[in-house]
Amino acid sequence: MPFADGAFDGAYMLHVGMNVEDKTTLCAEVSRVLRSGAMFGIYDVMRTGDGELTYPVHWAETDAASAVREPEHYKEALRAAGFVIVRERNRRDFAIAFFEQLRATAAASGGPPPLGLHILMGKTTPIKVKNMIENVSTGRVSPVELIARKA
């Protein structure tokens, strides 16, 4: 990143890691630009169970384009970069409720709202949402929050 060492008091990553294969380098670079004691929050879809994922999903059309990994993989990368894990929270139930609300709202109004995820995901939004619900419901993946502090 084009920033000086220790330039920031905190950082977060929201739905990014699923597309970054090298999480060790990613966490090391975030650590480099954070001051000592800074917090780093991650909210990514992570692998939480066995079984093949159903594609396409919102971060990848196929398995070849996906870098989704287990929370432990993230935690190892964070520890290697000098972070201490402060908190971990699986947000599976939140995700299921979110997608149920998304479907209910679209059904009640006869389609998607003027602004929403469908703009980012394009024409395949219904398939991606359906597949994501399946993947989360079966426990293959879940959104997971990780909060870490730079030592």
In this model, does residue 33 exceed pLDDT 90?
A: yes
Helix count and strand count (H, E) for the chain: 5, 4
Mean pLDDT over 137-142 rounds to 96
Query: Which 3 state secondary structure label does DSSP give 89?
Result: strand
Quote the tokens at residue 28.
């090391």
Domains of the chain and any CATH numbers: 8-150 (3.40.50.150)
In this model, does residue 107 exceed pLDDT 80?
A: no
pLDDT number for residue 105: 78
pLDDT band per the 50, 70, 90 thresholds, residue 77: very high
pLDDT number for residue 4: 97
Q: Are the C-beta atoms of 112 and 62 separated by less than 8 Å?
A: no
d(CA 56, CA 129) in angstroms, rounded, equals 9
Q: What is the pTM of this model?
A: 0.88
Q: Assign 3-state DSSP to the chain and report helix, strand, coil percentages, each to 5.
A: 45, 25, 30
pLDDT number for residue 103: 76
